[in-house]
Amino acid sequence: MKRPGKSLTIDEECERIIEAHGPADFERINAALDRQFRTLHNRAQLLLGVCGVLISASVLVTTGRLIGRKPEFEHQHTAGHLLVAAGILEIIAAAVVAGGVLNVRWSTRQPGSDLPGWVRANLVYRNRKTRAYQVATLLLLLSMISYQVAIAIAMLQL
């Protein structure tokens, strides 16, 4: 029995899925796993969209600054470094989402010589994609913080 507050291991989750859907019902198990992948991919696409908006905003702010040639202010270099960091974090987050989450490998092509082995392989693959999504989310949040601090520094100089 699982302890409260503790995540299931891959083997425990595999056992739970096979028990819930029946050991002979590949279609239902495949559909259940597919729903999990679809949820993850939908969230990753949203995250990628946010990355795109932030990258566009970073480009506009940076380009506007270069074209406008505003007067120097006290912490301009700090703000500039934060904007560059935000842009780099956004691009890395987008790359992690595109390469780590949105890549496609068909569940029917997963390894496994029997149903439990196949389910385990899919769960490992899902967990790897989930970790990539979590890393991309963290990078995106750090980018947003960096961007907001840079803007706050610039606004305090007005």
For residues 54 and 143, the answer to whether their CB atoms sit within 8 Å is yes
Dist. CA 28–CA 155, nearest whole Å? 56
Q: Does a structural domain hold residue 143?
A: yes
Q: Which of 4-8, 52-56, 130-134 has the lowest mean pLDDT?
A: 4-8
pLDDT at residue 64, rounded to an integer: 59
pLDDT, tens digit, 9 for 90 and up, residues 40-53: 999 999 999 998 88
Residue 87 domain-assigned (yes or no): yes
Q: Which two tokens stand for residue 35?
A: 């729903």
> Which pTM was predicted?
0.80
Q: Which residues span the domain enclosing 149?
A: 10-156
114 DSSP 8-state letter = S
Q: Which residues of 129-152 are buried (b: 16+ CB within 10 A; e: fewer)?
A: bbebbebbbebbebbeebbebbbe
pLDDT number for residue 139: 96
Q: Tell me whether residue 53 is in a domain.
A: yes
In a domain, 138, yes or no: yes
Number of domains in the chain: 1
Does residue 85 fall inside a structural domain?
yes
pLDDT tens profile 69-128: 565 667 777 888 888 888 899 999 999 999 999 988 887 787 878 888 999 999 999 999
Give residue 23's pLDDT.
Answer: 79
Look at residue 129 and tell me whether its pLDDT is greater than 90. Answer: yes
Whether 60 is in a domain gets the answer: yes
When pLDDT is cut at 50, 70 and 90, the band that residue 68 belongs to is low
The separation between CA 93 and the C-alpha centre of its own chain, rounded to angstroms, equals 7
Residue 3 in domain: no
At a CB cut-off of 8 Å and minimum separation 6, what does 3 contact?
Answer: none
Q: Tell me the average pLDDT of the chain.
A: 84
Q: Give the confidence band of 143 by pLDDT, cuts at 50, 70, 90.
A: very high
- pLDDT in the model for residue 40: 94
pLDDT top residue among 15 and 76? 15
Does a structural domain hold residue 27?
yes
Q: Across residues 56-80, what is the average pLDDT?
A: 67
Judged by DSSP in three states, 157 sits in coil
* Residue 109 per-residue DSSP state: G
Q: What are phi and psi of 25, to 5 degrees?
A: -105, 75
